[in-house]
Structure 1
Amino acid sequence: MNWGTKLVIGMGLFMAFIITLAVLMIRSGSDDLVDKDYYQKGIEYDKDYDRKSQMQKDQAEPEISVGDSLRIVFNKPATGIVRILHPSDNKKDRIVSLNSGIANEVALPLNDIREGHWKLIIEWKSDEKEYMFEKNITID
């Protein structure tokens, strides 16, 4: 075999490799690094930032403890939602509404939530102000 034949075979193998990679990329289901509502989250980023800043400005960070239940203590009566997000499987995510009443405390049962790392996002309204708080928690 001369060098020209080896060059054509090498180019053919390289092209087959590139085509195989392209087919595998096209066949892959989804891109897990991008959220389904990526654009909506981008639009609402300023709103989330303002709510987090308001929480820090008013020193309204809730106290959180994890035991048999998820216990959240607010400074003032609050209403809103709690999102408990699993980092690797969005089918396990939970969204729960909350109303602390005059006790300023909410206890959420954790019996249907499995052990592991979770992201907790609390969005609430208190005294006509909106707040947002995020924290990574571990459920044992």
Structure 2
Amino acid sequence: MKFNWGTGVVLAFIGFIAFIMYFVVTMFADNRFKNELVTEDYYGAELLYQKDINKLEKSKELTVNVNYLRTNDGLKVVFPKGFDYTEITGKVFLYRPSNKQLDFETSIVSLSDSTLLIPDKRLVDGRWNIKIDWQYKGNSYLFKESIIY
């Protein structure tokens, strides 16, 4: 068999197709390349997004918004001082972009002061998205931020 340019082109195509097939199979089979959706019901969540926009705008009207700080005990969420902390309700959602199993939600039911402590044992070092959806005297507010813990 003679090796000419036609044979070389055919071998190049076969090599290229084999490389692409190897790449595709590796991407689907390897767990390192698994990507998860932010939410299971993506389109349903998108329809509710306007309510979140309204809450964010309401939060911008506050003179002092919700704040947070890292302590030895965990992440301390600090609500505005001028508000009666006994009337604050809502929920805190922490989303870990790299691992869905670490996501969790905590209810704000009854505060003993103007802070809420999320224990250190619940949080792993790294990037988190925090979403605090809270209500005070019939007004709804929203605080969203990416944090490094």
Q: TM-score range by the shorter chain?
A: 0.7 to 0.9
SS of the aligned residue for 1:32 comes to: coil
Q: Which runs of 5+ in 2 are unaligned?
A: none
**Taking structure 1 as reference, are residues 57 and 12 closer, same or farther at Cα in structure 2, changes over 3 Å only?**
same
TM-score, L = length of structure 2: 0.73
SS of the aligned residue for 1:10 comes to: helix
Contact 2:93 2:132 (8 Å CA) reproduced: yes
Measure how far apart 1:114 and its partner are.
2.9
**Taking structure 1 as reference, are residues 111 and 20 closer, same or farther at Cα in structure 2, changes over 3 Å only?**
closer
SS of the aligned residue for 1:122 comes to: strand
Q: Which runs of 5+ in 1 are unaligned?
A: none
Deviations 1:74-120 (A, max 9, x none): 34231000112223212112211013558443333333323333222
Match of 1:51 among 41, 50, 55: 55
TM-score, L = length of structure 1: 0.77
Which segment is superposed worse, 21-30 or 40-49? Answer: 21-30
Equivalent residue number for residue 132 of structure 1 = 142
Root-mean-square deviation (CA, aligned residues, Å) is 2.8
Contact 1:100 1:106 (8 Å CA) reproduced: no
Aligned residues: 139
**Taking structure 1 as reference, are residues 23 and 88 closer, same or farther at Cα in structure 2, changes over 3 Å only?**
closer
